Structure 1
């Protein structure tokens, strides 16, 4: 896939666990895990906005395009 999810990198930079992010963003741990592993087929802008707010980052810090 050409879109790489760097959520784990941003979480590590902010020293935040998946459980903590899940609680702050109000998204299930399972859905957040699917997003983190890059297995998600879509992400809502509202979810992306909430993640960026909590992690104090930009969407480009989480999502990256890599040519095949």
Structure 2
């Protein structure tokens, strides 16, 4: 997928755990984990807003566009 979620990077910078962020954002741990592990197919703007508020960051700090074949997931689903 061309959109990469860098949530783990921002969480590390802010020194916040997945469970702590889940409580602050009011999202299930399972759904936040899916997002963090780049397995999500979509994200609601309200969820993105809540994450940005909790981490004091911008959406661009979390989401990154990476054209296919530039270090992300390959077309066959494997990683480079």
Settle same-fold status: TM greater than 0.5. yes
- Structure 1 unaligned segments of length 5 or more: list them: none
Aligned ranges 1:1-68 → 2 under 5 Å: 1-68=1-68
Q: Which structure's residues are more often helix, by fraction?
A: 1
Count of residues paired in the alignment: 68
Task: Give the superposed CA RMSD.
Answer: 0.4
What is the TM-score normalised by the length of structure 2? 0.84
Could you say which structure has the greater relative contact order, defined with CA pairs below 8 angstroms and 6 or more residues apart? 1
Give unpaired runs (5+ residues) of structure 2: 69-80
TM-score under structure 1 length normalisation: 0.98
